[in-house]
Chain A
Amino acid sequence: MITDILVIGGGGAGARCAIECSDKRVVMAVKGLFGKSGCTVMAEGGYNAVLDPRDDFEKHFRDTLKGGCYINNPKLVKILVENAPKELRNLERFGALFDRREDGSIAQRPFGGQSFSRTCYSGDRTGHEIMTSLMEYTSKLENVTVLEDVMAVKLIVKENRCYGAIFLDLVEGRLFPIYATSTVLATGGAGQIYPITTNPLQKVGDGFALAYWEGVELIDMEMVQFHPTGMVNSGILVTEAVRGEGGILYNRYGERFMAKYDRERMELSTRDVVARAIYREIKEGRGIKGGVYLDVSHLGDEIIEERLETTLRQFLDIGVDIRREPMIVAPTAHHFMGGVRINERCETNIEGLFACGEVTGGIHGANRLGGNALADTQVFGAIAGRSAGEFVEDMGTLRDPVDVGGIISRIKRDLREKLGRERGYSIHSLIRDLKSTMWDKVSIVREERGLRSALSKIDLLKEHLEKVRLRGVFEVQRYFEFKSMLTVAELVTRCALERRESRGAHYRSDYPETREEWRGNLVVSREGIRFIRSSFEGN
Chain B
Amino acid sequence: MEWVAIAVKRKGILKSYRVPEGITVLEALEYINSNYGEGILYRASCRAGQCGSCAMTINGEPRLACKTRVEDGMVVEPLEGFNVVEDLVVDRSPYYKKIQGLRNYLHHEGDIPKITPEDIREFKGVRNCIDCLCCLSKCPARKFSQYPGPTFMRQLARFAFDPRDREDRERIAYFENLHNCTTCAKCVEVCPKEIDIVHRAIERLRELAFKKGYYLENHLVVRENILKGGRSVKKEGRSFLEEVKEEYIVDNEKMRLALFTGCLIDYRLQDVGRSAIKVLNAHGISLVIPKDQVCCGSPLFRTGQRDVAEKLKGKNLKVFNSLEVDGVVTLCAGCGCTLKRDYREREFQVMDITQVLDRIPLEYKPLDVKVTYHDPCHLRRGQGIYLEPRRILKRIPRLKFVEMEIPDQCCGAGGGVRSGRPEVAYAIGRRKVRMIHKSGADYVITVCPFCEYHIGDTLKKFNGGGKKIEVMNIVSLLERVV
Contacts and interface: CB of A to CB of B under 8 A. Distances in A.
Nearest to B46: A200
Interface stretch (B103-111, B218-226, B419-427, B453-461): B103-111
Nearest to A129: B127
Contacts of B44: 201
B32 to A, nearest CB: 11
B367 interface: no
B47 A132 contact: no
Interface in A469-497: 471-475
A33 B37 contact: no
A502 to B, nearest CB: 31
A128 B128 contact: yes
Interface in A424-479: 426, 428-429, 471-475
Nearest to B27: A234
Interface residues of A, number: 51
SS class of chain B's interface: helix, strand, loop or mixed? loop
A225 to B, nearest CB: 18
Nearest to A474: B39
Interface in B83-122: 85-86, 89, 92, 96, 99-100, 103-106, 108, 112, 114-117, 119-120
Nearest to B44: A201
Nearest to A198: B48
Interface stretch (A112-120, A136-144, A215-223): A136-144
Contacts of B35: 428
B33 interface: yes
Interface string B26-53: 0000000111010111011111111111
Interface in B104-163: 104-106, 108, 112, 114-117, 119-120, 124, 127-131, 162
Contacts of A428: 33-35
B234 interface: no
A296 to B, nearest CB: 20
Contacts of B127: 97, 129, 132
A317 interface: yes
Contact of A171 (B41, B52, B129): B41
A403 to B, nearest CB: 31
Nearest to A170: B41
Given A149-B43, A471-B39, A474-B33, A42 B130 contact: no
Contact of A42 (B37, B50, B69, B96): B50
Contacts of B116: 100, 102, 104
A475 B39 contact: yes
Interface stretch (A88-96, A280-288, A353-361, A370-378): A88-96
A314 B40 CA distance: 27
B160 to A, nearest CB: 13
A329 B103 CA distance: 44
SS class of chain A's interface: helix, strand, loop or mixed? loop
A171 B85 contact: yes
A223 B297 CA distance: 62
A95 B108 CA distance: 9
A434 to B, nearest CB: 14
Contacts of A125: 128
Contacts of A129: 127
B34 A200 contact: no
A149 B89 CA distance: 10
Contacts of A473: 39, 41
B164 to A, nearest CB: 8
A255 to B, nearest CB: 28
A133 B129 CA distance: 12
B390 interface: no
B380 interface: no
B354 to A, nearest CB: 29
B47 A236 contact: yes
Contact of B53 (A36, A92, A318): A36
Contacts of A149: 43, 89
A129 B120 CA distance: 13
Nearest to B102: A139
Nearest to B115: A100
A103 to B, nearest CB: 8
B45 A37 contact: yes
B158 to A, nearest CB: 9
B162 A97 contact: yes
Given A95-B105, A97-B115, A474-B41, A123 B124 contact: yes
A124 B330 CA distance: 40
A251 interface: no
B67 interface: yes
B151 to A, nearest CB: 12
A325 to B, nearest CB: 16
Identify which of B69, B89, B128 gathers the most chain A CB atoms within 10 Å of its CB: B128
Contact of B117 (A102, A128, A234, A236): A102
Contacts of A32: 43, 45, 53
A229 to B, nearest CB: 14
A202 interface: yes
A42 B48 contact: yes
A41 interface: yes
A134 B35 CA distance: 39
Contacts of B103: 140
B128 A139 contact: no
B45 A33 contact: yes
Contacts of A36: 45-46, 51-53, 130-131
A472 B128 contact: no
A42 B46 contact: yes
A33 B117 contact: no
Contact of A100 (B86, B106, B120, B162): B120
A58 interface: no
Contacts of A97: 115, 120, 127, 162
Nearest to B194: A313
A132 B128 CA distance: 9
Contact of B51 (A42, A101, A426, A472): A42
A99 interface: yes
B48 A236 contact: yes
A471 B37 contact: yes
B75 to A, nearest CB: 21
A38 to B, nearest CB: 8
A412 to B, nearest CB: 18
A253 B34 CA distance: 36
Interface string A26-49: 000000110011100110000000
Interface string A123-166: 10100110011001101100000001100000000000000000
Interface in A225-258: 234, 236-237
A133 B106 contact: yes
Contacts of A318: 69
Contact of A137 (B41, B48, B105, B112): B105
Contact of A317 (B37, B67, B86, B115): B67
B45 A202 contact: yes
B124 A136 contact: no
A101 B162 CA distance: 17
A472 B33 CA distance: 10
Given A36-B53, A125-B128, A202-B45, A139 B105 contact: yes
Nearest to B114: A104
Contact of A37 (B39, B51, B105): B51
Interface in B43-74: 43-53, 67, 69
Contacts of B129: 132
Given A125-B128, A149-B89, 11 more contacts: A32-B53, A37-B51, A93-B106, A95-B106, A128-B130, A200-B45, A200-B51, A201-B47, A314-B48, A428-B33, A428-B35
The 9 closest A-B pairs by CB, nearest first: A472-B39, A428-B34, A95-B106, A474-B39, A200-B45, A104-B114, A36-B51, A136-B105, A37-B45
30 contacts: A32-B45, A32-B53, A33-B45, A36-B130, A38-B45, A95-B105, A97-B120, A97-B127, A104-B116, A128-B50, A129-B127, A132-B127, A132-B129, A136-B105, A136-B106, A137-B105, A140-B105, A149-B43, A171-B41, A200-B46, A201-B45, A202-B45, A236-B47, A317-B49, A318-B69, A428-B35, A471-B37, A474-B39, A474-B40, A474-B41
